[in-house]
Amino acid sequence: MSEEEQLKEAENGIKNPLALIFLKPGCLSNHGIEEYLLSKLETHEIKIVKSGIIQFEPEQVTDFYSHHSERSFMGRLSGIMSQHKLPYWVVEPEQETQFTFYEQIKEISRELRDKYRPGRKAFNVLHTSDSRESAARELEILGLNESNQAVDSS
């Protein structure tokens, strides 16, 4: 890791690569999905740093999904995301593996989508951070960063 990357991490307060994972509202009724996710995290030697329940405020949905701000579904998404209490996990790798941490997270996400997507259409069953920068931004928006303990394990 370059000196610049190390400095950027220090500024963001990220010591290890972290990722935020949360289940999307449309899959909450899928029995066994949480257990399956937890078993996949264990198989991939990914440690849970923090877990709990989060309920988005409409403004948080807007900030979190700002890259979709011009899309027609944003109003509907904001309503759906802020109506549900969603289980979340903040995770980090236990050790280096043959894959990068974010590749592992992406693979777990694909496996869960294949197993639990409703019907035949493609459907996001969970959110996963795709980089250190994304994780830092997402954790900050939701108040789940290390310096904020407002939302704790439930």
Give the pLDDT score at 48.
Answer: 96
User: Is residue 24 classed as helix, strand or coil in its secondary structure?
Assistant: coil
Q: Are 115 and 36 in contact (CB under 8 A)?
A: yes
What number is the average pLDDT over the span 40-46? 93
Domain assignment present for residue 110? The answer is yes
Which position has the higher pLDDT, 82 or 12? 82
Task: Examine residue 3 and state whether it is found in any structural domain, yes or no.
Answer: no
Give the residue numbers spanning the domain of 117. 15-141
Task: Give the pLDDT mean for 10-29.
Answer: 75
Q: What is the pLDDT of residue 6?
A: 47
The mean pLDDT value of the chain amounts to: 80
DSSP character at residue 129:
-
Q: Measure the CA–CA gap between 77 and 75, rounded to whole angstroms.
A: 5
Domain-located, residue 26 = yes
Tokens, residue 33: 């999905």
Domain count, the chain: 1
- The reported pLDDT for the residue numbered 4 is 55
152: in domain: no
**Average pLDDT score over residue span 93-106:** 80
Q: Band the pLDDT of 21: cuts 50, 70, 90.
A: very high
Q: Which residues lie across from 46 on neighbouring strands? A: 93
Q: Is the pLDDT of residue 97 over 80?
A: no
The tens digit of pLDDT for each residue in 109-150 reads: 988 888 887 565 556 788 999 988 999 999 999 999 765 444
Asked whether the predicted pLDDT for residue 154 surpasses 50, the reply is no
Q: Residue 9 domain-assigned?
A: no
Distance separating the N- and C-terminal Cα atoms of the chain: 35
Give the span between the Cα atoms of 110 and 151, in whole angstroms.
28
Q: 133 versus 8: which is more confidently predicted? A: 133
* Residue 1 included in any domain: no
- Tell me, what's the pLDDT at 80? 86
CATH of the domain at 30: 3.30.70.141
Strand boundaries in 37-136, DSSP class E? 46-54, 86-93, 126-128
Q: Note whether residue 153 is domain-resident.
A: no
Cα–Cα distance measured from residue 31 to residue 21, given in angstroms and rounded to the nearest whole number: 18
pLDDT of the residue at 71: 76
